[in-house]
C-alpha cells in the first residue's frame, strides 16, 4: 500500500519526537524500538516536565503498565499537554481489567484525555468496553472469533471516537466505520515481555507523521511489527531462541523499508 510506504518514509525522514509515559519494565525496549524505526524517543516521570514535553512532541503515548497515583498524575499531565497542543495521543491500557487501580487509571485517561488511538489485547479492550471477564495480568485473552472481535472494536471505536486496535494472532483495527485485519508476526512475540508496549510506542511515532489519519498510523505500526517479527523468527537457525529472536527483532524493525511495508500484503481492509 502506497499509504504505508509514505507513512514509514515520513517516520524515517522526520524522526518524530515521541513522548512515552510508559512502564518501568519496558521503557528501554520502547526507546530502542523507536530508534530502530527512525523516530526519536523521550520519556518523563515528572508531571510538569511531561506536560511541557507533550507540547513539543509529535505524539504522546500513555501506558498504564506500572501505574500508581504518582504515575497517573504524570500520565494525565502529559495527556492534557498533548491535547492542549493538538498533538495525537495513544493509550495502552495494560492490564486494564485486572485491578481497580488500573480500571480507574484507564477510565480517567479516557474521560480526561480522550485518546486518538487505543491499542490493547482482547482482555484489555473488553475491560474498556465494560464486558465482564477474567484477566491474568497483561496476558491476551484466548478465544473469540475475528468477526466478534471486529464488532467489539468497532462499537468501542464509535463510542469513544477513537481508533481501536486489538492485537492478537491476527490484529484487528476499527474506526467505527472501517475495519482492518493485520496478519503475519510470530508466536515468539508473545513470549517476550513488552512487545505490546513497544508496539504502542511505534503507533505513537507513526501518529506523529500521519496528521489527521490515526487509522493509517495504527495500521502502519502494526504491519511494521508483524513483518519484523515474521522475518526475525524466520532468521533463526533453530527455535525458540528467545534471546536471539529479541535481538533480531530490533534488527528487523530497523531493516523494514517503506517499500517492504508497501508490498508486504499483511494489512487487509474490510
How do residues 137-196 score in pLDDT, each as one tens digit?
444 444 458 999 999 999 999 999 999 999 999 999 999 889 999 999 999 999 999 999
- Residue in the structure block whose three cell numbers are 505524539: 59
Q: Residues 220-225: what's their mean pLDDT?
A: 98
**Strand, coil or helix: 171:** strand
Q: How confident is the model at residue 247, as a pLDDT?
A: 96
Helix axes 214-234, 242-255, angle to 10 degrees: 130
Q: Burial code of 188-221, b = ≥16 C-beta within 10 A, e = fewer?
A: bbbebebbbbbbbbbbbbbbbbbeebbbbbbbbb
**Of 196-210, 229-243, 247-261, minimum mean pLDDT range:** 229-243
**Number of domains, the chain:** 1
Q: How confident is the model at residue 224, as a pLDDT?
A: 98
Torsion, Cα of 39, 40, 46, 50 (10° steps) = -70
Q: Give, as one character, the DSSP assignment of residue 93.
A: -
Q: How confident is the model at residue 144, as a pLDDT?
A: 55
Q: Which three cell numbers stand for residue 233?
A: 523468527
Q: How confident is the model at residue 229, as a pLDDT?
A: 96
- Residue 237 has a CB neighbour count (10 Å cut-off) of 6
Containing domain of residue 7, as a range? 2-269
pLDDT tens for 240-249 read: 789 999 999 9
Q: Residues 27-33: what's their mean pLDDT?
A: 97
CATH number assigned to the domain comprising residue 205:
3.40.1190.20
Q: Residues 235-254: what's their mean pLDDT?
A: 92
pLDDT tens for 37-81 read: 999 999 999 999 999 999 999 999 999 999 999 999 999 999 999
Q: What angle do CA 103, 136, 153 make, to 5 degrees?
A: 60
Q: How confident is the model at residue 222, as a pLDDT?
A: 98
Contacts of 76 (CB under 8 A, 6+ apart): 47, 108, 109, 112, 113
Q: How confident is the model at residue 138, as a pLDDT?
A: 44
pLDDT tens for 102-152 read: 999 999 999 999 999 999 999 999 999 997 554 444 444 444 589 999 999
Amino acid at each position: 500500500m502506497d499509504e504505508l510506504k509514505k507513512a514509514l518514509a515520513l517516520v524515517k525522514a522526520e524522526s518524530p519526537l515521541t513522548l512515552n509515559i510508559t512502564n518501568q519494565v519496558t521503557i528501554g525496549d520502547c526507546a530502542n524500538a523507536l530508534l530502530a524505526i527512525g523516530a526519536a524517543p523521550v520519556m518523563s516521570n515528572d508531571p510538569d516536565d511531561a506536560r511541557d514535553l507533550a507540547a513539543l512532541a509529535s505524539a504522546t503515548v500513555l501506558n498504564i503498565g506500572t501505574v500508581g497515583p504518582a504515575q497517573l498524575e504524570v500520565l494525565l499531565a502529559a495527556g492534557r499537554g498533548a491535547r492542549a497542543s493538538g498533538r495525537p495521543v495513544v493509550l495502552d491500557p495494560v492490564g486494564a481489567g485486572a485491578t481497580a487501580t488500573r480500571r480507574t487509571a484507564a477510565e480517567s485517561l479516557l474521560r480526561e484525555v480522550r485518546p486518538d488511538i487505543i491499542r490493547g489485547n482482547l482482555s484489555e479492550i473488553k475491560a474498556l468496553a465494560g464486558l465482564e471477564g477474567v484477566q491474568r495480568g497483561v496476558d491476551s485473552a484466548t478465544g473469540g472469533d475475528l468477526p466478534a472481535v471486529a464488532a467489539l472494536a468497532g462499537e468501542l471505536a464509535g463510542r469513544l471516537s477513537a481508533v481501536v486496535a486489538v492485537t492478537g494472532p491476527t490484529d484487528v483495527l476499527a474506526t467505527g466505520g472501517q475495519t482492518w485485519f493485520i496478519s503475519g508476526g510470530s508466536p515468539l512475540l508473545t513470549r517476550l515481555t513488552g512487545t505490546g508496549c513497544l508496539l504502542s510506542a511505534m503507533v505513537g511515532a507513526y501518529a506523529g507523521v500521519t496528521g489527521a489519519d490515526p487509522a493509517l498510523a495504527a495500521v502502519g505500526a502494526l504491519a511494521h511489527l508483524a513483518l519484523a517479527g515474521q522475518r526475525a523468527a524466520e532468521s533463526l537457525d533453530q527455535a525458540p531462541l528467545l534471546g536471539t529472536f529479541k535481538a533480531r527483532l530490533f534488527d528487523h524493525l530497523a531493516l523494514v523499508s517503506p517499500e517492504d511495508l508497501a508490498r508486504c500484503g499483511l494489512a487487509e481492509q474490510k
